[in-house]
């Protein structure tokens, strides 16, 4: 059975928590991604994530100005993350149990990649 390392996307796009949601949207569009990993403030901090869904629910649906809202205000943190050597069936189970569409792959405190439901379906089956 493949592991998270075998199916993960290695080009992870990140953003600073102090950036605006408008900046995040522009970066998502430019890079063709649906989520951005939010950088840690220091080595002991946890990573965060901001997704298109977060933006739709916490900004657009609330009538907030994306240029005035900071990423850290709406991001999810701390994250459910996976080890690169975790078997894909356990990655899928973890994601299902937490209702996740994607999970960053972290090893030795650094983001190595990200696994999405699409990665599991397209690469592991």
C-alpha to C-alpha distance for 38 and 51, rounded to whole angstroms: 10
Phi and psi of 100, rounded to 5°? -95, 150
Taking residue 32's Cβ as centre, other Cβ atoms within 10 Å add up to: 7
Task: In whole angstroms, give the CA distance from residue 29 to residue 46.
Answer: 25
pLDDT of residue 47: 95
Instruction: Quote the DSSP letter at residue 108.
Output: T
Q: Is 103 helix (H, G, I), strand (E, B) or coil?
A: strand
Instruction: State how far the Cα of 111 lies from the Cα of 7, in Å rounded to an integer.
Output: 15
Per-residue model confidence (pLDDT) at position 1 = 84
Q: What is the pLDDT of residue 8?
A: 97
Structure tokens at 4: 């998270």
pLDDT value at residue 98: 96
Pick the CATH number of 4-124 from 3.50.50.60, 3.30.70.1290, 3.10.20.30, 3.10.580.10: 3.10.580.10
Structural domain boundaries in the chain: 4-124
* pLDDT value, residue 125: 76
Q: Please, what sign has the CA dihedral across residues 37, 77, 52, 125?
A: positive
Residue-level pLDDT, tens digit, the chain, 125 residues = 899 999 999 999 999 999 999 999 999 999 999 999 999 999 899 999 999 999 999 999 999 999 999 999 999 999 999 999 999 999 999 999 999 999 999 999 899 999 999 999 998 77
Q: Give Cα 30 distance to the centre of its chain.
A: 16
């Amino acid at each position: 059975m493949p592991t998270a390392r075998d199916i993960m996307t290695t080009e992870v796009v990140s953003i600073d928590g102090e950036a605006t949601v408008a900046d995040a949207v522009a970066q998502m569009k430019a890079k063709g991604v649906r989520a951005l990993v939010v950088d840690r403030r220091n080595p002991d901090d946890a990573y965060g994530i901001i997704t298109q869904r977060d933006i739709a629910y916490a900004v657009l649906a609330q009538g907030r100005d994306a240029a005035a809202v900071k990423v850290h205000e709406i991001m999810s943190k701390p994250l459910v993350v996976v080890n690169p050597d975790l078997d894909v069936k356990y990655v899928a189970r973890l994601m299902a149990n937490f209702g996740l569409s994607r999970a960053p792959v972290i090893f030795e405190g650094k983001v190595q990649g990200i696994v999405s439901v699409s990665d599991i379906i397209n690469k592991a089956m």
